[in-house]
A = this chain, B = another copy of it.
Amino acid sequence: MKDKNLPIQGLKVTLHKRPNGMPKESDFQVSNFQVKGPKDGEILVETHYLSADPFQRMRLNAFSGYGKTISLGDTIKGRIAGKVIISKNPKFQKGDFVEGMLGWKTHAISDGSQIRAEYAPGVTQIDKKIAPIPAWLGILGFPGITAYFSLIETGKLEKGNTVLVSAAAGAVGSIVGQIAKIYNCKVIGITGSDKKVKHLIDNLGFTYALNYNKGNISKSIKSFAPGGVDIFIDNTGGPIADEVYLNLNLNARVVLVGNISQNNQSSEIQRKDLQNMIMRNRATVSGFIVYDFEDRANEARKKISKWIKEKKIKYDQTIEVGIDNAPRALISMLKGGNIGKQLIRLPISIKENT
């Protein structure tokens, strides 16, 4: 195809109405647009596959949390894979295959840059010798990369761990479970139908799988993992995650990959606390109880004693007197009435013989 054949008519999927809760087909529109030729440095890609991914749901909201949202009438943010049909970039040949976040349309322009951020119009070269085109949107695309790093890096996978994954039959979950199996882990998948349960166990080698629509989720997990769950790769959040939290091991690792249960709630009842942890800061939140460090208490005492001696650290005390006033002192402390340590000094009632 030569440039002179352009412009031609392409098709794109656009946002017609902002959904509140689960989207409806009428929230979208498919319409024509003029496909123009690429400028110097650019390539024109003919789309062979559109990718449907959970993150797209958030981009339909007025506020998406991570990256830019889209306006009414805009093309739906989405990854595509296709063939380079015109190249004005020396790194690409006509006939090359690429994938990238180029939006849901039949023809798309890319600047041919390496993909560096969610919204850069870059592309990844597809090597069909490694796997067919659609695999580059799945197992070799961001779902596969998500599965790999969420489990290995953020989840700190160790051989023999008990790993639980939600949305286990999905693009990310199915790869998470299989990677964990390669590392000799016990793998539990949570999914939404008996058919998927059977698929996970029979075809993908999961150790256990459960249908969250049946029975008590927490009890099922406990029966599969009486010793507790070491790593939880959470794709859903919400009530399913709550049941998993009841079965976590001491110092378990939870990786918040998705929050799909909440993304499709109406905005009024969405739980956004964990969503913010994914979108805003990828923070790590750890529970702490000092008794876990009891064996090492003297290590802290030694260091703090040194700092006291060097006058690098001060300590305040708020002291009430008499056991009758102990409840009042406790309540005052709970209300923030103290500065530093709240204590109750008892006048000594028994004479010492010493």
Contacts and interface: CB of A to CB of B under 8 A. Distances in A.
Interface string A154-193: 1000000000000101110011001100100000000111
A327 B338 CA distance: 59
B48 A253 contact: no
Interface in A124-138: 124, 130-131, 134-135, 137-138
27 contacts: A13-B327, A23-B327, A49-B345, A51-B343, A52-B343, A53-B333, A83-B352, A95-B352, A115-B297, A135-B315, A137-B343, A144-B315, A146-B288, A169-B338, A169-B340, A170-B336, A171-B341, A171-B342, A182-B307, A196-B339, A251-B281, A252-B281, A273-B273, A274-B285, A282-B286, A284-B285, A284-B287
A146 B290 contact: yes
B290 A145 contact: yes
Contacts of A269: none
Interface in A104-148: 104, 106-107, 115-118, 124, 130-131, 134-135, 137-140, 142-146, 148
Nearest to A200: B339
B50 A139 contact: no
Which of A196, A280, A303, A319 has the most chain B CB atoms inside 10 A of its CB? A280
User: DSSP majority for the A interface?
Assistant: mixed
Nearest to A301: B140
A346 B22 contact: no
B282 A288 contact: yes
A352 B5 CA distance: 12
A305 to B, nearest CB: 5
A62 interface: no
Contacts of A297: 115, 124, 145
Contact of A288 (B150, B228, B307, B351): B150
Question: Interface size bucket, A side?
Answer: 35 or more
Which of A13, A57, A137, A171 has the most chain B CB atoms inside 10 A of its CB? A171
B285 A346 contact: no
A252 B315 contact: no
A148 B290 CA distance: 10
A286 B354 contact: no
A140 B305 contact: yes
A83 B264 CA distance: 61
Contacts of A54: 333-334
A331 B294 contact: no
Sort A-B residue pairs by CB-CB distance and give the 6 closest, nearest first: A138-B341, A277-B287, A28-B327, A148-B300, A139-B315, A282-B287
A117 B333 CA distance: 24
A203 B314 contact: yes
Given A146-B288, A250-B281, 12 more contacts: A52-B338, A57-B330, A137-B341, A154-B286, A171-B338, A178-B312, A228-B281, A253-B283, A254-B284, A256-B285, A274-B285, A277-B287
Nearest to A299: B148
A348 B319 CA distance: 80
Contact of A334 (B66, B253, B260): B260
Which of A52, A196, A301, A348 has the most chain B CB atoms inside 10 A of its CB? A52
A40 interface: no
A248 B283 CA distance: 7
